[in-house]
Structure formats: structure tokens, C-alpha cells
Structure 1
């Protein structure tokens, strides 16, 4: 995605004679308190004690209330319904305003004071509602941070020292607080007996902070003229070049990877990695220092107050998406240009409402406005399908068959004809909707994957094939660590669907995301380490992942996941030193992989033979696949063919492929397989065992009533407990199985020269000894 942004200056004081007449002092007093009450309204207040409301519809400002003369505001924050990231477009009715005498007030929508509380012994520098809306924090120049209930009752004092606190912000999960004192930044976890993380951040005072809900990173601006980006442990990720003046404000976008930076007469729109999209300088009129940046809940607009008392509203435009031969660019707030790069034709799409988000892919453009969703087909661009009633759209993801929308209410999966295909729900899903981001969701070919926010180790998988039982009863996949990124494959056949995910240890795992046998879904295989991002190819099951200084391509991550040898043969790792730092994956269309570094797009071609091989295998063209491998003569091609052929029970082709890949042990095993009865339960089980799928092999034997063979399989794998469990379960049918298991166990212990130690076997051994003694 190529993004270009232009900051549009909307000065309500200069453009509105009514506001200038009603609040003349606003043009002279610093405007340091601004915030969005909805996606269309901004509230602001300055030292003249008057609260104004600016409307995006009327482009005018009106006075809504007047504060007491002894109340000088220092910070304000609206409690949006369901949290800032939940689509506050519907507005809210609770406003928090802090003052320089240590008080804060809570007002309702009609500007009536609900609570007025003396909280600190000095000025309150920051007052913020928690993201979950359960409470609020106040941080003061007296060095104290307090947490209050939503009604204004004191809950706890979490920080207390003598050094003044300049700024404080909540963590996205409401479990920690970041604050700055002097040149230091500190993170205070709210869990009991937790330690504060503190580090030196800037040479001068730290003036502003922001904690990203998308990437869980922290931005800071200081008097040393720089802004910096940190991870949640205090490690520096980015340091900007020195600006001309101090960085007075920073703010992450709640829905996208944007960072807005404000300084004297300048606004800068950056990527969350730190590099800049666009800079807007205000030379006429000069606006002074920019204070208290605030994004709207849908992430499309931003506002800020200035030291000269002027209000600035900014809009993100020139966002660009490219897919195949189509390029979509947002030219204004209500128009998008769709261009066919191949033919040079261009269409300008105008909308009656403001464009909130749009997605492009697989020959379709999906555009969400404030109240509608427009679906365009590249072949019928003049006749879009319109879906009404979709408000506050936050995420759009397009797939080959369906597209997904995340809004303020729920998750919706539609077909490209505009028909609602699925509204997925799982335990606690409605309460988690405000906290979900595009990183929590992944739309595959026939599967929708959703990370559970209440338990980040759980992944919910919804089957999108019509009539599938998991449309309303998802399968839950549990990892050992918290999931950081998930990606469902976007191509393949309905029987071969996989999901890949990176956990908090930066390790990469792959599992089947859809299978008729529910017992096989929990087989999770580790295929990589030290990953920061992953993406599947759009048309094939090829996976790419980015490390710190290189990137890897897995040409057979699904079928070969259970065999480390296959993964090693089909994985290629390449250096990215020449690309620069902070590489991100932009797109993976067919055989062209595009990275982005410092704003530049870097296209790279993957192995064309592997991409063509996958297409041939998808269509079942086995002889064509053999010709491709013979032409390419690369071990990754043969290993990919071998893994897929073994999974599809193409033993003859699998034998040739393993032989070409020099896997002699597997060739010998395949010859043993070919000696078994074709398509029998024994052959299918041995085939699954060769792929490393022991649970699958056992299930095949048990379903085929091959109890003796299932016990023998467990014994071969030295899975002694499972062998005993199966033999005891079928003791009535085949009583000779238990003695056989005990006999094999004795041989095993004799070889180890050990006594029995397993509590499951000890009673049986004691009983056997007692029977022998009695005889």
C-alpha cells in the first residue's frame, strides 16, 4: 500500500465570524485542549474558560458552556462509547477536563458538571479515560498518578514521587501506564508487585507521549528537537533527525499505522516505523507550537490546538492501493481514482459521504463511507453494489471469494454480490469488538481466523464453506504463547488450508485451519524463528517472513510443516542489508514480493518455477509438475512435489521426487508403502506417519477397526501410555493386546536396565507378579 498524505488546514476561528465574535479571546489564548466527541464534532477549550464545539457538517463553531473563572484547563478527553478504537462515531456523553489547580471535572453532553474533584496538590498535566472505559487516570506536577473510577471515586495511587510528571498515557490493554519525568520515560504495570521500567529517553525534557493500539509501541517527543519510537520494554526502535524546534505533540492513529508529530508551525505525518509520508508547514498564518493532537475514532481525521489559539483539522488523503493491474488512490475526502495500469484507463469515483476505508484485491474495490459500503467489480465499474447501514467501518480485508468488514458492532463477511455470508461470534466476542484491530483478524480462502483478545493464546477458526458447521461453532486453536500476528492462506484447495502465526517469542508456527477430521486441527508445527512479519502469496500456498536483517520464503510451509527435512529443503533465506532497516511486507501478488523500507517500495521476484509448480499441483497436473521439476532441477522444487504428492497418496511420483531430492531413507520407506494393499487403512496410516502426522495415522487405523495395528503403531513410537490405553479400551474384543503391551514394556525396561516407574503400569506389574507368585 502506497500512502501519500496532505494536511488540510481548517481554521475555524479565521473562517467563522460567529466564533470570532463569541470568543475573541480564543484568538489570543493558547488552545491546548482539543478532542473529538464523535467522528464529526470537535470540542476545544482554552484559557478563556469557554468550551466550543466545531462541527464537520456545518464547518462552524458554537459555544456550548463556560467554565468557572478560577478553572484554567490543562487537558481534556472524551470517553467514546466502547473506547476510542471502537467507532466513537456515534458520540459519547462524558467529558473529562483537568485544570492547573489540581481539580478535574466530569461533564455530560449538555455541559452539566457531574463531578468536580480536587485530585492533586499541583496542576494536572494529563487526564485520560482508560481504553476499556472502566476508569480514568490523572497525572500531576506533584509527581503523583492516580486512578479513578468512571464515577470519580479514587481507586489507587500508582505513582508517587517528587519529580513533576509532564504526560501520562494508558497502555492499549489498560494494564499499564506510561509517563515521563524530565528526560526519562517510565512504564508502570498495574499488576501487584510489578516493577517500574524506566529509561533515559531524551537529552531535554520529554514533552509528549503516545501508545499505539495497533503495534503496542510508544512514541515520545522532547525538547531535544527529536521524536523517538520505543517498544514496550524501553528498547529504541527509531530516532528522528533533529527538527528546528521542540517536538510538542505526538499521536498514533487508532486504526492505521500512522504517527502524527507536531512542532512549531509544522505537522508531520509518519509511518509508525518513523519514516515520513508528508510535512505541512504553516507560514501564513503562523500558528505557533502545536499542542494536544487528537485523531478521530475512525482514524481519517486529526485535530490540534495551537499556541496562537487556532484550531487545525487535518485529513489523510492520497492513500494508494495497488493490486494486479489496478491502482486505487483517494484524491479527496469523498472521491477515489481507480486506474487500470495495463490499459491506462482511469475512473473517478465520487461518493456522497466521507470515505472511511477502502480495500483492493482480486478484481474488486470495496469502499466504506460513513454509512454505506460500495462494491466495485473491475469489469462493471459503473454499476456498484451498495450495502446500507454499515457505520463506523474500521477494517476491510478482501479475499478471493469474500471480503470482511470490522465495524463498531461486529465482524461481517460478505460475498462480492453484497450478500451477507457470515457474522461470526464466539464466547465474549461482542465485548472484544472495540479492542480488535486488523492484526487480530485474517481472511483466508475458506477460513476466517480471529485472535481472542481475552486470551491472546487462542485462535478462533471459522469455516466459510457454505453449510459448514464451524460457521457458528468455531474451532479454537491454542498456542503456548501469546499470538502477535496471524495469517490464513489465501489460495489452495478447500482440503489444504493452513494458518500461520507468530507468537510473543517471535517464533513461526503453521497448522491446518480447515479439515473434516477435527482431531487433526491441533497439530501445530514450528517452522521458523525470530520473525517480525509474515504474509501468504495471493494465488499459491507460499509464505514469506521478515527477520531483523533478512527475509525467508517457505515454498512448502503447509504440507511440509511436519517434516523438518522438507522445511529445510524448501526454505530460502536472503539478506536485506541493502534494503535498510524496519522492512515491512507490502504485498505478495503471484510471484512478485514487494517490501517497503523508509517509504520506498522494493519489488522482489520469488522462484518462478515454484510458483508455477504450485499452480500445477493445485489443478492436479502431476505429469506437468514432474516436467517443471526436471526443468528447474532444484532441491526445493523436488521437496515441494514430494511433500504434496505424499499427502495426496501419489506414491510413484513421491518416490521419484524424494529420490531426486536425495532423501534415500524416505525412498526406502515408500517402497515399503507400495508393498501394502493400495488405499487400505494400513497404507494410508503409514503414509500419514511418513508425513509426521502420528495422531492422524492412529485415527485412520482406529476408524478402520485396525486395533492391533493401532497398538503396534503406539509401541513403535514408544508411546507406552497410549498403547496401554487403546489395549485396555478394546480388552473385551482382543484380550491378548494388554499382555502384548506388558511384554514389550518389559523388553524396553530390560534394555534400559531400569525398574518400572510409570504409575499407569505399576498396578499391572504388581498384579502380574502376584499372579505368578500364587501359581
Structure 2
């Protein structure tokens, strides 16, 4: 996977460009120190000079209001509501201590004095109801959407170079000196701070999907953290300081910018590719909402636009590679034949499994049978920006982060289960799972609860969510067996792994406590087998395969006797299970390398 960059010859500022941001997946805005606001349409290669700002106004940071904010909620979005693909207002932080609201036509709607000294950074909350600013005076301030001051969150002895929001809009991450600090908005909650770098931290970002934090600074390293301050990855020391970094909205990748260098990295931290633009330091980075395009603003004033290509997915003997934004190359490892799939529009998302390739473009969805790639089934995306594909044997699930839709492999819409009070990005790969007959979704308003639906979208049982003692972090349904034997594996925030019987009928109407059993502690990545009820997972740096995990409901002392363990020093730190097909396991190391393991 790598970024294919183009630097449009017309899109260039006469002074350095700190600020770039996507209004939609086709329209990019940039603001430079030459005081000019440009709008560039990547489809028509059309450049428009939107506005020229006052000569005493020097921009330092910009952020578009989030795409879900125009739905009017201050936190939740009603079931069935569509997320808008574009937004029409951004806030600009300036060197004179102000912030400005600027609409898409370039008109400055409001300008507010915010800090003593420069307003260095600004970020909208994920729900768009408020935003935070950080200043040269060491203050972090929270503002209402109207521009009214809500609170002075903190006072630091050093300037605040970057601020970020938590997924639940209830905490702020900021960097001060060598430290990262997570400060809850609630005055009675304790903040969490830790020394993250050996030199001043210049940038940080907090992803709303995977809940991971990245940081970079003058020690020329970037690092990946969890929310309690555990270091998950640290890069080598590079030649130049890290001047910018940004998570892709879907949490799968992040970008890191420094002098004449731009890196595309996996969420685990390892580097996919390195680009070497000759345009000085990369000061501004912005991902499009569909996580396929990256814009960068450089020290020379040039603006680059990168498309992710060479994205690879595989299923058994077939490999699918996105060789261009509209071309997929298919390689058959058995016959050594190659084929091409040419798309009308830019590819946004693709997934393969259970014999079918799902392709989402900017305008429609296509379903290819892996045995016959020639005639895909086509379905409409209903003007929604889909960010997630989850496949099962008979159906697949699409989500825009708020709503979910179930489709058959013929392209027929089967169900749209109603989720109560969904928040932006609350539906992601960790919080939803699909089996041939069941849908499991973590409740966005109560992260300790899990809601279950049948494949037609109707709630299972009495319709009430099943509650756990602690927050549920990751869940997965098994893929085989009858509906009455359906099991859910889930991990909570203390990394304990539990097995749950989804349906209580036929079990003597068991209570919730009787339906849930702990399988192990200190769990990392885990995955069900595609052909039977075996479950694999990493615990205590060992790969465990539970051959019959349901034995925990019969006699928990038999769990160890039905567990196959693989010990190897090759797995390294924080490995993940990519696939568990038949008797073959694919493990990805934290360095990005793949390891194949076979069950005897």
C-alpha cells in the first residue's frame, strides 16, 4: 500500500501552506500565509480563488465542521438519519489570537478573540456541537458552536501545539512540552498525563474508531499509544522533526509528515510507504472522509493530493490489488492468471470473503462472485458514505458509522435495523459483528451493553440489550452452527475474553449471568474459524486455539484440555490474527510481516 501523489501546478500558494481540509471527497480547501483561500475540485481539476483574507491575518490551523454535525444533534443522531457527505463551515485559527468562522464561499462570518498570543490549534468535537482551541498562552478553551466561550479547560506553562477530542466528546487530548495529557471535561474527573517524548511534542491525534493516539515531535520520532498511556509502537529516530500527523477517519492508517518526507503507516505503527516530495516541511495534513485521499500543505506553498493505491486483500488463492484509483488487478495463484476489474468511479472500500468481492465506489456498490468476475451485481448506496463492510456466509453488512444495512450477495437490501441514539463513528469493525442469522451491535449510548437482531432486522428475544459489568471493546459472532447455538465472543476494557449464548431459548431460559462465561484473561486479538466453532486468540504472548469453547458452559475445568497452544518467539509484540480459514491461521506481526500457522 502506498500513496500516489500529484501536485497540481495551479494549486500553489506564494508562501507556506499550513492549512488544508476536505469539504467533501471531491472538494479541497487550502489556506496559506499569502492570505488566499483556494478551493480545488479533483474531478474537474478546477481551481477557484474563494477569498483573500486581511493582510494581518496569518492562518495556523483549520478544521471543517464534522459531516454529521448538520443533523442538528448535540451528541446523538436519530435512527434512520443520513450522514451528510459534505459540510459548509470551517473554523480558522490565526496568529493574532483569534479564530474565524469561514463558510464555503469564503465569507468570514465571525471573528472572536480567543487567546493572548497566537491561537495555534483548533478542533471540532466529533458531534460538531462544540470545538476546542489551544494557544500560545498555554490555555485550552472550549467554545460553543455559536462562538461563545464555554470553559477554560486548563492552563499550561508552555504553549499548546495540538488538541484532539475523544470519541464520546467528553475529554480533550493536548500536548504540552514533552507530555501528553487527557483532560476530561467533567471537573470532578481525574486527568491522565504521561511523558511521551524526549523533546517538545509538536503534533498529536486521537482516532474515534480505534481509540488510539499518535504523537510526534522534535525528537524526530512518532509513537502510538492507548488511552491509558501504554506505548504500543515507537519509530526509529528520523533525520528531521515530525511536523504533522493525522489519522485516517476509519482508523486503518495514519500519515506522518516531516521535512521533504511523508510516511503512510498502519494503525499498528509500521510504515507502508515513504514519499519524498521536494517541498520542504509538511505542515498541514488532512484525510478525506472516506479515508482514501490525503492532502498535504508544504513549506514551499504547494499542495499535494495523494490517493491510496496498491491496497491488497486476498481470499484463499485469489489476490486483489488496487493498482489505480479505478483499477483492481486480480491474481490467481493456482493458475497464475491475471485479470483486471475496471471501475467507472474512484474506489472507496473493498472487502473479500466467503467467495464474494464487495466493491464500494463513490457512487455505487458492486458484488463480484470470485468464481465469475465478469458480471457484478450492482446496488445503490442511497447517498450514504459507507465506511465499513462486514461479510458473512449469506449476507454482508454496510455502515456509515451511524446506521447499518444488511444486503444479500444478489444486491438485495434485506434489512436496516434501527439503532437507538447512534453517535458518529459508533459503528465500526470492533463494535459490530455479523453471522448468517444474527447481528450483534454494541450500544453507543451504553458501551457495556450489546443489542442483538435477527438477519431481518428484528430484535432477538424481548428486544432488551444484554449488559456486561464493564465496557465492551471488541465483539465477534461465530459463523457456523444453528441459530439456537449462536455464540458471541467479546473482550472488555480489562482484556478479559467472554463467551455468550445469544439466544436463551432451549437453555431453560438462562439469565444473563448464566449465558456469559469467562474464557481467559489478558486477551489480545481474537477471531472465529470460518468453517467450525473453533476460536483463536493471543493471550500471554501465546496463540491459543479453543477447539470447543462452548465447553465452558458445561465444565470450565475442561477448557484447558480442549485448548491447543502455539508458542513462538516469532510473533513479537502485539500480533494480530488476520485470518482463520479452515486449519490455517494468518498472523500479522507489529512490524507488518505475515506468519502462517497450521493446525495439525
Match of 1:344 in 2: 336
| 1:291-302 pair list within 5 angstroms | 291-302=283-294
**Deviation for aligned residue 1:475:** 4.8
Match of 1:537 in 2: 529
3-state DSSP class of the match of 1:577? Answer: coil
Between structure 1 and structure 2, the one with the greater Rg is: 1
Partner residue of 2:485 out of 493, 496, 510: 496
Q: Distance in 2 between matches of 1:60 and 1:40?
A: 11
Q: Distance in 2 between matches of 1:142 and 1:99?
A: 14
**Deviation for aligned residue 1:449:** 0.8
Partner residue of 1:69 out of 35, 40, 55: 55
Q: Distance in 2 between matches of 1:472 and 1:254?
A: 35
Verify the 8 A CA contact 2:403 2:427 in the aligned structure 1: no
Match of 2:270 in 1: 275
Match of 1:720 in 2: none
Q: Distance in 2 between matches of 1:579 and 1:104?
A: 48
Deviation per CA, 1:583-631: give whole Å up to 9, x if none. Answer: 0111111110110011111010124xxxxxxxxxxxxxxxxxxxxxxxx
- Residue 327 in 1 paired to residue 322 in 2? no
3-state DSSP class of the match of 2:570? Answer: helix
Verify the 8 A CA contact 2:208 2:425 in the aligned structure 1: no
Match of 2:4 in 1: 8
Q: Distance in 2 between matches of 1:112 and 1:359?
A: 42
**Deviation for aligned residue 1:380:** 2.6
- Residue 254 in 1 paired to residue 243 in 2? no
Deviation per CA, 1:439-478: give whole Å up to 9, x if none. Answer: 11111121111111111111111112x6x85379745221
Q: Distance in 2 between matches of 1:396 and 1:125?
A: 37
Match of 2:33 in 1: 47
Partner residue of 1:420 out of 402, 413, 425: 413
Q: Distance in 2 between matches of 1:116 and 1:32?
A: 19
- Report the CA distance shift for 1:409/1:164 in structure 2 as closer, same or farther (over 3 A): closer
Match of 1:699 in 2: none
Deviation per CA, 1:655-713: give whole Å up to 9, x if none. Answer: xxxxxxxxxxxxxxxxxxxxxxxxxxxxxxxxxxxxxxxxxxxxxxxxxxxxxxxxxxx
Q: Distance in 2 between matches of 1:290 and 1:144?
A: 26
Q: Which runs of 5+ in 1 are unaligned?
A: 21-25, 608-775
Q: Distance in 2 between matches of 1:40 and 1:88?
A: 17
3-state DSSP class of the match of 1:400? Answer: coil
3-state DSSP class of the match of 2:484? Answer: coil
Match of 1:600 in 2: 593
Match of 1:452 in 2: 443
Verify the 8 A CA contact 1:30 1:308 in the aligned structure 2: yes
| 1:364-513 pair list within 5 angstroms | 364-390=356-382, 391-407=384-400, 410-428=403-421, 431-432=422-423, 434-464=425-455, 470=459, 474-513=463-502
Partner residue of 2:510 out of 520, 539, 543: 520
Q: Distance in 1 between matches of 2:158 and 2:373?
A: 61
Match of 2:88 in 1: 93
Verify the 8 A CA contact 1:426 1:474 in the aligned structure 2: no
Q: Which runs of 5+ in 2 are unaligned?
A: none
Normalised by the length of structure 1, the TM-score is 0.73
Normalised by the length of structure 2, the TM-score is 0.94
- Report the CA distance shift for 1:469/1:438 in structure 2 as closer, same or farther (over 3 A): closer
Verify the 8 A CA contact 1:462 1:475 in the aligned structure 2: no
3-state DSSP class of the match of 2:423? Answer: helix
**Deviation for aligned residue 1:374:** 0.2
Q: Distance in 1 between matches of 2:426 and 2:101?
A: 24
Verify the 8 A CA contact 2:215 2:224 in the aligned structure 1: yes
| 1:687-706 pair list within 5 angstroms | none
**Deviation for aligned residue 1:568:** 2.1
Q: Distance in 1 between matches of 2:570 and 2:66?
A: 44
**Deviation for aligned residue 1:578:** 2.2
- Report the CA distance shift for 1:271/1:144 in structure 2 as closer, same or farther (over 3 A): same
Verify the 8 A CA contact 2:69 2:129 in the aligned structure 1: no
Q: Distance in 2 between matches of 1:337 and 1:490?
A: 29
Q: Distance in 1 between matches of 2:303 and 2:462?
A: 50
**Deviation for aligned residue 1:110:** 2.3
- Residue 307 in 1 paired to residue 295 in 2? no
Deviation per CA, 1:120-167: give whole Å up to 9, x if none. Answer: 111011111111111000100101111000111110000113321121
Deviation per CA, 1:696-738: give whole Å up to 9, x if none. Answer: xxxxxxxxxxxxxxxxxxxxxxxxxxxxxxxxxxxxxxxxxxx
Verify the 8 A CA contact 2:216 2:223 in the aligned structure 1: yes
Post-superposition, which runs of at least 4 consecutive aligned residues in structure 1 deviate over 6 A?
A: 84-89
**Deviation for aligned residue 1:550:** 1.6
Q: Distance in 1 between matches of 2:321 and 2:445?
A: 36
Partner residue of 1:115 out of 107, 110, 118: 110
Q: Distance in 2 between matches of 1:409 and 1:586?
A: 25
Verify the 8 A CA contact 1:489 1:497 in the aligned structure 2: yes
- Residue 575 in 1 paired to residue 561 in 2? no
Verify the 8 A CA contact 1:485 1:533 in the aligned structure 2: no
Q: Distance in 2 between matches of 1:88 and 1:60?
A: 26
Deviation per CA, 1:223-281: give whole Å up to 9, x if none. Answer: 11111112212222211111111111111111142121111111111112111111111
- Residue 546 in 1 paired to residue 538 in 2? yes
**Deviation for aligned residue 1:69:** 1.6
Q: Distance in 1 between matches of 2:33 and 2:463?
A: 54
Q: Distance in 2 between matches of 1:487 and 1:521?
A: 21
Q: Distance in 2 between matches of 1:11 and 1:606?
A: 49
**Deviation for aligned residue 1:114:** 2.3
Partner residue of 1:566 out of 558, 562, 568: 558
Supply the RMSD in Å over aligned alpha carbons: 2.1
Q: Distance in 1 between matches of 2:281 and 2:556?
A: 57
- Report the CA distance shift for 1:119/1:591 in structure 2 as closer, same or farther (over 3 A): same
Match of 1:768 in 2: none
Structure with a larger share of its residues in strand: 2
Q: Distance in 2 between matches of 1:586 and 1:552?
A: 15
3-state DSSP class of the match of 1:569? Answer: helix
3-state DSSP class of the match of 1:346? Answer: strand
3-state DSSP class of the match of 1:166? Answer: strand
Verify the 8 A CA contact 1:107 1:114 in the aligned structure 2: yes
**Deviation for aligned residue 1:184:** 1.8
Q: Distance in 2 between matches of 1:469 and 1:36?
A: 37
Deviation per CA, 1:526-548: give whole Å up to 9, x if none. Answer: 11100022110011110011125
**Deviation for aligned residue 1:405:** 0.6
Match of 1:555 in 2: 547
3-state DSSP class of the match of 1:90? Answer: coil
**Deviation for aligned residue 1:196:** 2.6
- Residue 213 in 1 paired to residue 199 in 2? no
**Deviation for aligned residue 1:99:** 0.5
- Report the CA distance shift for 1:494/1:342 in structure 2 as closer, same or farther (over 3 A): farther
Q: Distance in 2 between matches of 1:379 and 1:199?
A: 53
Q: How many residues align?
A: 586
Match of 1:166 in 2: 161
